[in-house]
Amino acid sequence: KAGVTQTPRYLIKTRGQQVTLSCSPISGHRSVSWYQQTPGQGLQFLFEYFSETQRNKGNFPGRFSGRQFSNSRSEMNVSTLELGDSALYLCASSSDRNYGYTFGSGTRLTVV
């Protein structure tokens, strides 16, 4: 059974640019969550989607957005990138019945 797949693995962007990250959940999982991981703030919740609906959003500025498609794949977008957006962005999926979220390996975003 394939795990959670995130693409790309690494990304370097310039301040002011925008970026889109992709996540393919485990087959059959309809809940997808995104987290930002930094050395200073640890793991911070960004948002959660279920059946194309955002059920919760973390305390991040509006530059951070996401969506989920009908096949449960999800994307997150960060516009007007800032140096502080450099982080590991993690996607996790769950069947939403047992709450056992499985994480992908993440996308390492570096903003220069």
Q: Can you name the residues that pair with 20 across neighbouring β-strands?
A: 77
Q: Which of 11, 30, 45, 86 touches another protein by CB under 8 A? A: 45
Q: Can you name the residues that pair with 23 across neighbouring β-strands?
A: 6, 74
Restricting to residues 47-106, which ones interact with another protein according to CB under 8 A?
Answer: 48, 50, 55-56, 58, 90, 92, 99-106
Query: Closer CB to another protein, residue 13 or residue 50?
Result: 50
DSSP secondary structure string for all residues of 70-103: TTS-EEEEE-S--GGG-EEEEEEEE-SSS---EE
Which residues are at the interface with another protein (CB under 8 A)? 4, 31, 33, 35, 42-43, 45, 48, 50, 55-56, 58, 90, 92, 99-106
